[in-house]
Amino acid sequence: MKRKLIAAIGVAGMMVGLAACGDGDKGGDKAGADVKELTVWLTVDAQNNWPELVKAADAAVVKKHPGIKIKHEYYGWPDKNAKLDAVLATDKAPDVVEMGNTEMLGYMVKGAFAEVDPKQFDQSDAWLDGLKESVTYDGKTYGVPYYAGGRVGTWRKDIAAEVGVKATPKTYAELTAALDKIQKKKGAKFSAWYQPSPDWYAAMSFVYGAGGSIAENEGGQWKANLSSPESIKGLNEYKSILDKYMHGDKTKDESDRHIVFGQGNSAAIFGAAWEGGAAAAPETDKVGKLADKLETFVMPGPSGQPLPVFLGGSDLAIPVKSKAQGVAAEWINAFTGAQGQKGLLAKGNLPNNKTDLATLKNDPKTVVPATAAESNWFVPMAPGWGQVEKAQTLKTMLQEIGTGKKSVEEAAKAADEAIDKVINTK
């Protein structure tokens, strides 16, 4: 999940006197039900990986509103918010927009999204805590969880077998011992563990696993915490992984990790649960029958416990300037409801609710991501967190650590200073 956020949006410029998404019966028939067009902004994840689910939601809305035209626009994560920020200042706002769950806070603080009634949406009483928190501000709900994304270890069991390892690692010592053997056998141009340096979702798992954090709330004020002894310990462990096993370009982010993995240039990755499947897709698999060679596992951590994973995901929100809030709510419910969740689960995502998550632990095919998600962390829910993400402070720190431009301590100190300047700013 690649997330960025706005720096600022003028509240007065966005607030309009529209009712929250649907006033009355489920689906919000009284708020813009007579509209002739609905504009839905999603990221390319939906376009590339589950377009059939988008079509199903469209069909459900068209059936209820014959003649309505549904327009879709798809954006990459790095581009979406800049375009959204610009359009929110006009009267051309989309009716539905996908947001990374870490992106929601800044937009909610600035009044960009319409309030919604959770009761209008399927399984809202069981939304995952991290996702529910991400759409809640000042006791009100401003979005609907779409799907969650945990992280798992995925490796080439055929390569592991070449060095005599026949079982996925249960401990960190087993993991690093196996990777050491693989790295020695494959040579310096091969990445036993392909781990892009700027991937802060992975790096912060090491930080939180060591007892550190990005920032802490002290008496109502947030204070950066990356220079704490615990956080430094986690960052040093992360650097050790980069130094020993990552032999790709250490300035690149994780956006094409599944492609690199599919090309056969790595034995293991730690990424979103869907990445292994994407690597093994026909258009990506350059190894040949890669799907048969992959195995997932709960990533063990240096602490002796599973490495806590970032419980990321996406939410869907309705811009406050939308003139079709009721129909927008109907589309969101069709897309994120029971049938939509089944489709998302089939694509390797985690559901937006605890009920479906529990069922995954009973299936050998999904028990790993479901179990991994139980040990998790989330970003600081601070008013200025969006500005931290927008400035790519963590990515910069990690790239400097990975390339050796700065020591761990120097990079962490600089990151803390940058974070402290904005994290309490609305």
pLDDT tens, residue by residue, 279-289: 999 999 999 99
* pTM confidence score: 0.76
Taking the domain 37-149+311-377, which CATH number applies? 3.40.190.10
Render pLDDT for 331-381 as a digit per residue (tens, 0 to 9). 999 999 999 999 998 887 889 999 999 889 888 888 998 899 888 888 888
Neighbours of 63 (CB within 10 A): 10
Taking the domain 151-310+381-421, which CATH number applies? 3.40.190.10
Quote the Cα angle for 145-312-310, to 5°: 145
How many Cα atoms occupy the beta-carbon half-sphere of 83 within 13 Å? 16
Which sequence spans correspond to the domains of the chain? 37-149+311-377, 151-310+381-421
Quote the Cα angle for 154-3-220, to 5°: 110
Burial status of residue 119 (CB atoms within 10 A of its CB: 0-12, 13-18, 19 or more)? exposed
Dist. CA 320–CA 115, nearest whole Å: 8
pLDDT tens track, the chain, 426 positions: 433 333 222 222 333 222 233 333 333 444 556 789 999 999 999 999 999 999 999 999 999 999 999 999 999 988 898 999 999 988 899 999 999 998 898 899 889 999 999 999 999 999 988 889 899 888 899 999 999 988 999 999 999 999 999 999 999 999 999 999 999 999 999 999 999 999 999 999 999 999 999 999 998 899 999 999 999 999 999 999 999 999 999 999 999 999 999 999 999 999 988 899 999 999 999 999 999 999 999 999 999 999 999 988 899 999 999 999 999 999 999 999 999 999 998 887 889 999 999 889 888 888 998 899 888 888 888 889 889 998 999 999 999 999 999 999 999 999 999 999 999 998
Dist. CA 137–CA 315, nearest whole Å: 14
Is 151-310+381-421 in the same CATH topology as 37-149+311-377?
A: yes
